[in-house]
A and B are shown apart, each in its own frame.
Chain A
Amino acid sequence: MQLSSLLLAGKGKSLTSLFSLLYLILFLPACIVGYTLTPKKWKKYFLLLASYGFFWLISGELVIYLIISTFSVHYFGIWIDRLSGQMKAQLAELPKEQRKQAKAGFVKKQRGVVTLAAVLHIGLLLVLKYSPFFTTNVNTLLNKLGLSVSLEIPKYLMPIGISFFTLQAVSYIVDVYRGVIKADGDLLRLALFMSFFPQIIEGPICRYSETAEQLWNVKPIEYRNLTFGLQRILFGMLKKVVVADRLNLLVSAVFDTKNNYQGGIIAIGAVCYTVQLYMDFSGSMDAVVGTAQIFGITMPENFKRPFFSKTISEFWKRWHISLGAWFRDYIFYPVTTAKKMKKLTSSARKKLGNHYGPLVAGSIALFCVWFCNGLWHGSAWSFIFFGMYHFALILIGNMLEPPVQAVNKKLHIDPKRFWYRLLQIIRTCVLVVIGELFFRARGLRAGLDLFKRMVTDFSFSTLDNRLLKTLHADRYDFAIVGVTLLIIFVVSVLNEKGVCIRESLSKKHVVIRWAVLYALLLYIIIFGAYGLGYKPVDPMYAQY
Chain B
Amino acid sequence: MPTVIKNALRALIFVLGLVLMLFLLSKAFSPAEGTIADGVHSIESNGIYAEAENSIDVIFLGDSVVYSGISPLQIWSEYGIPTYCCSTSAQKLWYTEDMLRKAFSCQSPKLVMMEADALFSKFNFDDSAMHKAEGVLPIFKYHDRWKQLARQATGDKSNERTAEDYKGYRLNFKNKPAANTGYMKQKLKIETLPSRNRSYFKKIKDYCEEHGARLVLFSCPNTKHWNNARHKEIAKLADEYGLDFIDLNTLTKDVSIDWSRDTRDGGDHLNYYGAAKATAYLGKYLNSLGSFADRRRDPEYQSWNDDAEGFLEIIAKKTK
Contact = CB atoms under 8 A, between A and B. Distances in A.
Interface of A: 1-2, 5-6, 13-14, 16, 20-22, 25-26, 223, 465, 468-469, 474-476, 514, 517-518, 521-522, 525-528, 530-533
A161 B216 CA distance: 45
A2 B198 CA distance: 14
B159 interface: yes
B140 A5 contact: no
B139 A526 contact: yes
A465 B158 contact: yes
A533 B17 contact: no
B126 A22 contact: yes
A532 B88 contact: yes
Contacts of A521: 18
Interface string B13-53: 01001100110010001000000000011100000000000
B141 interface: yes
B124 interface: yes
19 contacts: A5-B195, A13-B124, A14-B124, A20-B125, A21-B125, A22-B125, A22-B129, A469-B159, A474-B147, A518-B21, A522-B21, A522-B22, A525-B22, A525-B143, A530-B143, A532-B40, A532-B42, A532-B95, A533-B40
Nearest to B143: A526
A366 B65 CA distance: 52
B144 interface: yes
Interface string B195-223: 11000000000000000000000000000
A485 B151 CA distance: 22
B147 A525 contact: no
Interface of B: 3, 7, 14, 17-18, 21-22, 25, 29, 40-42, 88, 95, 124-126, 128-130, 132, 134, 139-141, 143-144, 146-147, 150-151, 158-159, 195-196
B144 A531 contact: yes
Contacts of A14: 124-125
A476 B158 CA distance: 11
A419 B42 CA distance: 49
B21 to A, nearest CB: 6
Given A22-B125, A517-B14, A525-B25, 7 more contacts: A21-B130, A22-B124, A22-B126, A475-B158, A476-B146, A531-B141, A533-B144
B42 to A, nearest CB: 8
Contacts of B144: 531, 533
Contact of B146 (A13, A465, A527): A527
Contacts of A469: 159
Contacts of A522: 21-22, 25
Contacts of B124: 13-14, 16, 22
A22 B3 CA distance: 30
Nearest to B161: A469
B267 to A, nearest CB: 17
A526 B41 contact: no
A530 B140 CA distance: 9
Given A465-B159, A532-B41, A20 B140 contact: no
A252 B140 CA distance: 25
Contacts of B128: 1
B88 A1 contact: no
B146 A25 contact: no
Contacts of A517: 14
Contact of A525 (B7, B126, B140, B196): B140
Nearest to B92: A532
Query: 9 nearest interchain CB pairs?
Result: A532-B41, A22-B125, A21-B126, A21-B129, A476-B147, A474-B159, A526-B143, A223-B7, A533-B41
Most chain A CB atoms below 10 A, which of B41, B146, B147:
B147
Contacts of B195: 5
Given A22-B124, A223-B3, A474-B159, A528 B17 contact: no
Nearest to A521: B18
B125 A1 contact: yes
B14 A514 contact: yes
Nearest to B147: A476
B143 A528 contact: yes
Contacts of A16: 124, 126
Most chain B CB atoms below 10 A, which of A1, A5, A22, A531:
A531
Nearest to B6: A223
